[in-house]
Chains A and B, each alone.
Chain A
Amino acid sequence: MSRIAVLKGGRSLERHVSLRSGQRVEDALRRLGHEVTGIDVGTNLVGRLQELRPDLAFIALHGREGEDGTVQELLELLGVPYTGSGPSACAQCWDKVLAKHLMRDRGIPTPDFYAFSEAAFKDLGAAEALPAIEERLAFPIVVKPARGGSALGVKFASTAAQVPGALIAAFSYDRKVLLERHVAGHDLAVSIVDGRALPVVEAVPNDEAFYDFEARYEIGRTTFVCPARLSDEDAARAQQLALDAWSLFGCRGFARVDLMRDAQTGELTVLEVNAVPGLTDTSLLPQAADEAGLGFDDLVARLVELASAPTPA
């Protein structure tokens, strides 16, 4: 039995989702016989941790606070082992622009993109470059904040006239945004636990033109197909790409890699890596684990085990 602090909530836009992940993890940990304290992360986090002196921190904190590497950095400083990836992997995964650059440099296919800061438009006249970008990416273009989860602020622009509005929406969430080539096709997720790729999950929205924030977290709005309706080769290729990305960023414990399969060309591309994937009852990673014969409690137990193991130097 260990004393485990479950970090959840926080102030990010994904607070609500995080609270759900956290609650579910707490319940599982209690069933596993651990002494569990849920911490709704706030300004007193360090104090709480110092006072509690947990054997381990389970990070169920989504959004900026949990995923950009800050909390991981703090936990290292306090000498508290924690679940999931370290600060460097988190920081790289959290920033989609950085992650996409790194993947492109390494030859991991990712949809073409251009990234801009607000300052580029304000101070460098980047707006002048929009027509060239629109020509290269072709409509529809996906516009998204560089950092942020759960598809918040992600917009489709089908015409040039829609681009400014989509950019403004994305800039509501971050000072940096990316314009990305839209891949029409299958929305796939490969979850990885301890360097092992789990069966591919395909998310099929029931009634939305786009797999948006709402559909992702609502039972009955999305049908999850696991294993995905892919050929064995495609499934193996998707898993391999996911593992390549996992290794590239130096992930640890678990992660979820989101991919697209182009319906026309069959090409597989990596969209992003989530270093603190959702663990809610509609989240994809637990579903994939379940398909692989790893129930939720077993999954949680395994993540705790991985975090407690001494980190290889």
Chain B
Amino acid sequence: MSSRPPTGSRSARDLERYAALFSARATSTRSSAMRDLMALTAQPQVISLAGGLPDMSVFPAEVLAKVTSQVAAEASARALQYGPTEGLDDVREAIAHVMAAEGMTNVEADDILVTTGGQQVIDLVCRTLVDPGDVIIAEAPTYPGAVPCFGSFEADVVQIAMDADGMRVDELEETLDRLEREGRRPKFIYTIPTFHNPGGVTMSLPRRKRLVEVARERELLVLEDNPYGLLRYEGDPLPTLYSLDGGAFVIYLGTFSKILSAGIRVGWAVAPGPVYQKLNIGKQAADLCSSSLSQLFVATYFRSGLWAEQLTRFKEVYRRRRDVMLDALAEFFGPEAAWTRPEGGLFLWATLPDYIDTTDLLARALEDDVAFVPGRAAYLDGRGGSSMRLNFSGVTEDDIREGVRRIGKVVREQVELYGTLTGSAGGAAQAPPAPAAGSEGALADVVPLPRRAGDDRARGSR
């Protein structure tokens, strides 16, 4: 008879015994009602705007077949073997090539650490820099996928508000001053400056320059997470923090997940020498090396020269989907809601009147077979309760429109109900606050992102 330890005949006392063995890190890892709700979003009848998925059906199957057989023919034994921890030279050259396409021309293959997806870089950077209780600075909201990682290292995450121009660097500086007064030194600043997930906004050039200066002045590391930079649908590209800084205080995180394939799990880091060494040692401990098969796939694919064309294909599809989503929001979401207008990437961030809790709204929306990510997932301090992240890359145009229509319907129901309950006309008066005073006129229609209650310092300065 087979026995299955994970769900065996544990009595309550046995369970307590396991619980006593859990590390402090594991106990501080939060699961949530949200995770249980999110489990429902994966059901086939649900239109899920909750995912963060690229649409891999845009990638031609015959290319996958061709590249895979080429790898088999040319490098079968290597593909099936362990590789060096820092990655195969073939793929590091491809990475240098991709970084050059984003204006980072001085990167050598040797500067690159190949990782198992971009997510591993976040893990390795935490491993390298964070002791329990150390401060990590992140944006508010921040990438929901980073939250459990920060939590597992028992970091104290301090979140800095964003507006239409990305992280409020003025607030960052004030916060750094405050932390210094309190004798706490942040280890690194985690940011997604371009097409923020989940915020949908992009950090302006002046703020990028200032952020890099701040990092230099204070000798702080910045982890620049840039999965979406090449997915720009309009406007001019901005220099990455890495290129502004020259790699002195910026750790760069890149990934093939959004420009080639999420399933091959290949990402990379570029970091200042001593940090690189520690990341490398951390990676040895984590998984020895990333999949050689995946790396050779990437290398072979890039040698074929097809990638630029494929990138264009992704961009065309996602740009149309973004436009469909923006149009649908304007049509179905009503005057009480506000949302960001991303120039690229996969997500936008919508904010509803503060009396609507988007976690509860998700439960209601699931009744109508539609899902989104409740905003609270992107905060560590309970904020974001009235916001939601919407993804437009992984769903067809028809489904985007229908999904937004369904969410809009339940939002309108709740707005009307609130009007009935409070005797107000319907909630237009409850619209979110006007954009931060400092936003330029052209950006005035872009929403400010929620800030800590009572935090009204320094409005308008940047």
Q: Are chains A and B native binding partners rather than an unrelated pairing?
A: yes
> Once bound together, how far apart are the Cα atoms of A27 and B10, in whole Å?
11
Residue in chain B with minimal CB distance to A173: B363
Q: Is A115 on the interface with B (CB-CB < 8 A)?
A: no
Residue in chain B with minimal CB distance to A283: B12
Contact B417 A171 (CB under 8 A): yes
Residue in chain A with minimal CB distance to B417: A168
Measured CB to CB, the closest approach of chain B to A62, in angstroms, equals 11
Out of A13, A164, A172, A296, which one reaches B421, CB within 8 Å? A164
Q: Which of B18, B19, B22, B417 has the most CB of A within 10 A?
A: B417
B residues near A121, Cβ cutoff 8 Å: 417, 420-421
Interface 9-mer from A82-90, A248-256, A285-293: A285-293
Contact residues of B with A, CB < 8 Å? 1, 4, 7-13, 15, 18-19, 22, 27, 30-33, 35-37, 39-40, 43, 355-357, 360-361, 363-364, 366, 414, 417-418, 420-423
A residues near B363, Cβ cutoff 8 Å: 13, 152-153, 172-173
Q: Is A24 on the interface with B (CB-CB < 8 A)?
A: yes
Interface 9-mer from A53-61, A95-103, A216-224, A234-242: A216-224
A residues near B13, Cβ cutoff 8 Å: 290
Q: Is A213 on the interface with B (CB-CB < 8 A)?
A: yes
Name A124-158 residues within 8 Å CB distance of B: 127, 130, 152-153
> Once bound together, how far apart are the Cα atoms of A164 and B1, in whole Å?
56
Residue in chain A with minimal CB distance to B40: A15
Out of B10, B30, B39, B414, which one reaches A296, CB within 8 Å? B10
Contact A218 B19 (CB under 8 A): no
A contacts with B: majority SS? helix
Contact B19 A220 (CB under 8 A): yes
Contact residues of A with B, CB < 8 Å? 11, 13-17, 23-24, 27-28, 31, 118, 121-122, 127, 130, 152-153, 163-165, 167-173, 212-214, 217-220, 224, 226, 281-282, 286-287, 290-291, 295-297
4 additional contacts (CB under 8 A) given A27-B4, A152-B33, A226-B12: A16-B36, A121-B421, A167-B417, A214-B33
Measured CB to CB, the closest approach of chain A to B198, in angstroms, equals 21
Out of A14, A163, A172, which one reaches B364, CB within 8 Å? A172
B residues near A224, Cβ cutoff 8 Å: 12
Contact A11 B417 (CB under 8 A): no
Residue in chain B with minimal CB distance to A291: B12
Knowing A24-B7, A164-B418, A168-B417, the reply to whether A173 touches B364 (Cβ < 8 A) is yes
Measured CB to CB, the closest approach of chain B to A135, in angstroms, equals 17
B residues near A163, Cβ cutoff 8 Å: 421
Contact A296 B417 (CB under 8 A): no
